[in-house]
Amino acid sequence: MLTFNNYIYVYELFLILISLYFFVKNKKIKMFLILNIMILLIFYRSYHMNCYEPNHFLSPSQCKISDIYDIDNNTVISTYLSPFNLHYMIVPIDSTIVNIERNPVDKEADKLTITFETFVDGIKFQYQLQQIVKKLGNWGFLPSILYKYRCITWKNIGNTVKQGEKYGLIRFGSMMNFIIPKDMIKKINVKINDNIEIGQKLFNL
């Protein structure tokens, strides 16, 4: 079922575009404004998710896998979200949020790293999900003026979150990194260049 709860995070742009539509007289500009409103409606669309796969780690986002590599004791799955992808994130497995850190580097307009804690077969693991907006290919000057943060979460440290529950979104331009302990992964079910759906099974636990 299509839902509209994500649009509150870009309501300023909707108001600006709609206001401009009624003030300008040029038909081409009006069509341009309508096009932009339609893009916003598509970009921030959302669906009610009903995911429960207790023996699997689900994809937090709809995206394309750009790289899979190991670093220290973790496997990193790097992904890209196109303008046509859903731009909200879900919890991949029942977890508790233990840390939230905003730590962009020089090439990033914004980056939000959330550390989750979960138990698999009685063993405690911590994994991280990073929401990232790159400066290269950043979706324009206006969003950076309107919004202090482009990577959003409405959860807090200490929150217990369920598999399939929405926890955040990215405003304009996006990629994600999934940083997962190697010992937590039994079998990865995806590969580089795969286009994956939100809630798809990434690997067995």
The DSSP string of 125-176 is EEEEEEEEEESTT-S-HHHHHH-S-SEEE---TT-EE-TT-EEEEESSSEEE
Residue 159: give the domain boundaries. 53-204
User: What are the residues whose beta carbons fall under 8 Å from the beta carbon of 71, sequence distance 6 or more?
Assistant: none
Residue with tokens 């509209």: 4
The confidence score (pLDDT) of residue 95 equals 97
Measured in degrees and rounded to the nearest 5, phi and psi for residue 30 equal: -60, -45
Is-contact 198 49, C-beta < 8 A?
yes
Q: Which of the residues in the chain have pLDDT under 70? A: 1-3, 136-142
Among residues 85, 92, 81, 72, which one has the least CA distance to residue 46?
85
Q: How many domains does the chain have?
A: 2
What are 11-22's pLDDT values in tens digits?
888 999 999 999
Four-residue CA torsion sign, 38, 40, 44, 48: negative
Same domain, 85 and 173: yes
Among residues 97, 1, 95, which one has the least CA distance to residue 54?
95
Residue 116 C-alpha from the chain's centroid: 15
Question: pTM, whole model, 2 decimals?
Answer: 0.89
The confidence score (pLDDT) of residue 106 equals 85
Same domain, 58 and 22: no
Same domain, 166 and 199: yes
The confidence score (pLDDT) of residue 138 equals 59
Same domain, 181 and 139: yes
Q: Does 48 map to a domain?
A: no
Same domain, 64 and 8: no
What are 48-69's pLDDT values in tens digits?
777 888 889 999 999 999 999 9
Same domain, 6 and 64: no
